[in-house]
Amino acid sequence: MQPVTFDAASRTWLLRTPATSYVLRLDAGDVPVHLHWGPVLTLEQAAALPSGTRQSSSFDGTGALDELVTEAGARFHTPSLQIVFPGGVRGVDWRFKAHESDGGHLVLRFGDAHEPLELELHYRVHDDSDVIERWTRLVCRVPVTLLRCDSAAWSVPMRDGYRLSHVTGDWSAEHGLHRTELAAGETTLTSRRGLTSHAANPWVMLDAGDATERHGEVWSGALAWSGSWRITVTRDAAGRAGWTGGFGHEGLSWRLEPGEEWVTPVFAGLYSAHGHGGASRTWHDYVSRHVLPEPGELRPVVYNAWEAVGFDVGEANQKELAALAAQVGAELFVMDDAWFGGRTSDRAGLGDWWPNPDRFPGGLAPLIDEVHRHGMRFGLWVEPEMVNPDSDLYRAHPDWVLHQPGRPRTELRHQLVLDLSRPEVAYWAQEWLNRLVSEHEIDFLKWDCNRAFTEVADDRAWIGHVRAVYAILDRLRADHPHLRVEACAGGGGRTDLGILARTDQVWTSDNTDAFDRIAIQHGFSQLYPARVMAAWVTDSPNPLTRRRTPLAFRFHVAMAGALGIGGDLLRWSPEELDQAAALVAVHKDIRPVVQLGVQHRLPYGMQYAHEDRVVVLAWRGPVRHGTPEPRLRLEGLDPLGRYTDEDSGVLHHGAVLMSAGLPLDLPADDYASALVRLRREA
Ligand code: GLA
């Protein structure tokens, strides 16, 4: 299969992935227009695609679907690129220069008929994934202002209707999935907070309203960016739909110096013919193959005492908890907030990254040694982008924070944001992080970011800050290849393909209530794989929601990701500690299936398949009397295969598991759950 082919006569490019094709063409005015995104086509078929333009009146646009919508000519879709040249001239009068392809990477180079602009559209396809990556690069030899510079515009084929899937949320309520008819007009999904945000996540899925979890065509896109972003989904009067998206929110502008290069993040897109479940599985596979830094690794079982002790961290309580964490089978002990500077509450100390001398009189070494003696690795919480005004750092460098001269500095959680787009601030962060990891045996950092950005004086900082975070993480990992990192922003406020390229997992949510987590994890799973989804078992009643749930239920829900324990083990009974140890052992047994396997969402659970094993996690919330239990019909098995239940020895047939379902007979209790391990007979 040739990943990129070109038909010179019609000036048509065909991109091929294993199961899909993407086609674009230059129109008579050199504008790259979109023709096809869907099932596989040959080059001959692609060249024969009608251009499909139609202008119904002098008030209408050209009818073309542009690969990047600029403000030139009769083109009225949401602009992807708004560029202002000297004198106020706007829009791109496209002039095609050249195309190059190297393996699956296609670059189309354009100029402008009047201005010294170089504009490139990049496409990259892989031979092992149907995900297509796109981004934009531009350079101009005169100063320009960018009012918007999206990574790509994506168009979907004409259908009778469209349904939009996306997530919204809040702190402790991330990834709430919505599936609604796509409104006529424009729908904007965005973050204006400097972070990916809890409120929305930068991905989108469209279907014709007929896709199900198992069947139907779904078009989707995900932006690899961890700061402010915007995706505008359009459904126009002619019945067409698509979206344009990129970094930055509305109202920002970036002035580029002559010769300065501007490169957008990747906006990846996927066409799947196998329903929302099929789309999710392809995204999971893509994240594993092409995004994560260490895709083959299993995530260690974490113990973290944040919910147990809060800000009351000390050498003695951490050592006590470490002993119990080791007893239940934790492999990585993470010390959370309040180990440093004068940090005894959220009011002080952020920025002063040395061990608190009252709490750790001998430094961190005695605790780290003890953790190692228990056979666990050691990790630390850090929040490098933030400062409390009550800190030595802020007293020394009050100008290092995002602020607007003469305006109040809005404090959120009593903290301000360090402007990492300034080289001296980024240097400071890189230097102390490097020193911290070099001087101690630290295997893991939980990199937190606990507030939204305000008072950004320079629009470039919205981009520069995120790039600096990426550069610091990349450098830190390169200098310390053993180091693993968890991305966190008050729970799941920084979950995206950009941060996942330099972290190993994300803290999914500060809400650890297992029942609430089912919905959060459901939304998370639409794009992101189980192996990056950190999930803790904590206390009952849950400290946030006061809900009481059985220990097994809490474990079964958390085992659907990267299991951790975050409860106050000092208050767990010996029986609970024994049960926890047994469940952690089960988790370690099924971990390769969950974290490396193929995931199918079931009506009230998850199925994972890896090599010859299948694991089903089933969970149910409060039960209303008389509600029938939905059948757990398994998916993707070999119909002729025989599958043995590893615990009961019962034999099941693949065809029966997929048609009649897996009999579970959950007790009628609220919060019942089950775990089934099946092995396929050779
Ligand atoms: C954030 C994180 C929590 C914890 C606290 C510490 O809220 O999401 O897990 O680390 O910060 O202050």
Using alpha carbons, list the distances in angstroms from residue 618 to 43, 60, 163. Answer: 46, 53, 29
Parallel/antiparallel/unpaired status of strands 533-537 and 505-507? parallel
pLDDT of 570 higher than 80: yes
Q: Of 130, 510, 513, 539, which one is the catalytic site residue?
A: 510
Of all protein residues, the one whose alpha carbon is nearest to atom 11 of ligand 1 is 490
The alpha carbon of 124 and the centre of ligand 1 are apart by a number of angstroms equal to: 37
Least confident window among 47-61, 212-226, 450-464: 47-61
The mean pLDDT value for 273-285 works out to 98
Mutation test residue for ligand 1: of 350, 451, 488, 538, the one with most atoms within 8 Å of CB: 488
Beta carbon of 381 within 6 Å of any ligand 1 atom? yes
| Domains of the chain, earliest start first | 4-52+61-290 (2.70.98.60), 302-596 (3.20.20.70), 610-680 (2.60.40.1180)
Which listed residue (448, 496, 504, 539) is catalytic? 448
**What is the rounded CA–CA span in Å between residue 453 and residue 484?**
26
CA 557 / ligand 1 centre spacing (Å): 21
Could you tell me the distance, in angstroms and rounded to a whole number, from the CA of residue 456 to the centre of ligand 1? Answer: 24
Q: Is the pLDDT of residue 328 over 90?
A: yes
Percentage of the residues of the chain whose pLDDT score is greater than 90: 95
Q: Verify whether ligand 1 is closer than 6 Å to residue 336 (CB atom).
A: yes
What's the gap in Å between 490 CA and the centre of ligand 1?
Answer: 5
pLDDT digits (tens, 9 = 90+) for 130-143: 999 999 999 999 99
306 close to ligand 1 (CB < 6 Angstrom): yes
Asked which of 18-32, 454-468, 546-560, 621-635 is least confident by mean pLDDT, the reply is 621-635
Mean pLDDT of 339-346: 98
Quote the pLDDT of residue 42: 98
At 63, is the pLDDT very low, low, confident or very high (cuts 50, 70, 90)?
A: confident
Cβ atoms 446, 486 nearer than 8 A? yes
> 349 exposed, middle or buried (CB, 10 Å; 0-12, 13-18, 19+)?
buried
Residue 4 has pLDDT above 90, yes or no: yes
Chain segment 199-252, per-residue pLDDT in tens: 999 999 999 999 999 999 999 999 999 999 999 999 999 999 999 999 999 999
Which long-range contacts does 281-286 make (Cβ < 8 Å, 24+ apart)? 281/598, 281/599, 281/600, 282/129, 282/130, 282/131, 283/131, 283/220, 283/222, 283/526, 283/527, 283/528, 283/529, 284/528, 284/529, 284/530, 284/598, 284/599, 285/129, 285/529, 285/598, 286/126, 286/129, 286/131
Residue 174, ligand 1, Cβ within 6 A = no
Q: Rounded to the nearest whole angstrom, what is the distance from the C-alpha of residue 383 to the centroid of ligand 1? A: 9
Which residue, judged by its Cα, is nearest atom 2 of ligand 1? 490
Residue 629: its pLDDT value, please?
Answer: 79
Whether 510 is catalytic is: yes
Task: Work out the average pLDDT over 510-518.
Answer: 98
pLDDT of residue 53 exceeding 90: no
pLDDT at 7 (0 to 100): 98
- Residue among 413, 448, 449 to mutate when testing ligand 1 (max atoms within 8 A of CB): 448
Query: What is the CA(571)–ligand 1 centre distance, in A?
Result: 21
Q: What is the pLDDT of residue 628?
A: 81
Q: Residue 414 Cα, ligand 1 centroid: separation in angstroms?
A: 14
pTM: 0.98
Distance between Cα 441 and ligand 1 center (Å): 22
Phi-psi group of 351: left, alpha or beta (phi > 0 → left; psi -120 to 50 → alpha; rest → beta)? left
| Closest ligand 1 atom, residue 491 Cα | 8
Summarize pLDDT for 345-390 with one digit per residue, the tens. Answer: 999 999 999 999 999 999 999 999 999 999 999 999 999 999 999 9
User: Average pLDDT, stretch 56-70?
Assistant: 89
Least confident of 66-75, 495-504, 506-515: 66-75
pLDDT band at 69, cuts 50/70/90? very high
**pLDDT band per the 50, 70, 90 thresholds, residue 64:** confident
Tell which atom from ligand 1 comes closest to the C-alpha of 336. 10
Cβ 488 under 6 angstroms from ligand 1? yes
Q: Which residue's CA is the closest to the ligand 1 atom numbered 7?
A: 490
143's tokens: 């100063």
Is the per-residue pLDDT at 196 higher than 80?
A: yes
Q: What average pLDDT does this structure show over 118-132? A: 98
Nearest CA to ligand 1 atom 3: 490
Average of per-residue pLDDT across 153-176:
97
User: Do 406 and 446 form a contact (C-beta atoms < 8 A)?
Assistant: no
Contact predicate 342/387, CB 8 Å: no
Q: What is the mean pLDDT of the chain?
A: 97
User: Which pLDDT score, from 0 to 100, does residue 55 have?
Assistant: 80
Q: Which atom of ligand 1 is nearest to the CA of 489?
A: 8
What average pLDDT does this structure show over 427-453?
98
pLDDT for the residue numbered 102: 95
User: Is residue 54 pLDDT above 80, yes or no?
Assistant: no
Contact between 264 and 245 under an 8 Å Cβ cutoff? The reply is no
Round to whole Å and give the CA distance between 380 and 446.
Answer: 6
Contact 491 CB / ligand 1 (< 6 Å) = yes
Say what the pLDDT of residue 601 is: 98
The answer to whether the CB of 510 is under 6 A from ligand 1 is yes
Q: Is 453 in the pocket of ligand 1 (CB under 6 A)?
A: no
pLDDT of 330 reads: 99
Q: Which class for 408: exposed (0-12), middle (13-18), buried (19 or more C-beta within 10 A)?
A: exposed
Whole-number pLDDT of residue 422: 98
pLDDT digits (tens, 9 = 90+) for 476-488: 999 999 999 999 9
Q: What's residue 564's pLDDT? A: 98
Query: Is the shortest distance between the CB of 539 and ligand 1 below 6 Å?
Result: no
pLDDT of 590 > 90? The answer is yes
- The number of the ligand 1 atom at minimal distance from the alpha carbon of 346 is 12
Ligand 1 touching residue 450 (CB < 6 A):
yes
Residues 6+ apart with CB under 8 A from 191: 197, 199, 200, 202, 227, 228, 229, 230, 249
When pLDDT is averaged across residues 261-268 and rounded to a whole number, the result is: 98
- Helix ranges (H only) for 514-573 are 514-524, 551-558
Separation CA 491–CA 544 (nearest Å): 13
Beta bridge partners of 537: 565
337 lines ligand 1 (CB under 6 A): yes
Cα-to-centroid distance, 174 and ligand 1 (Å) = 15
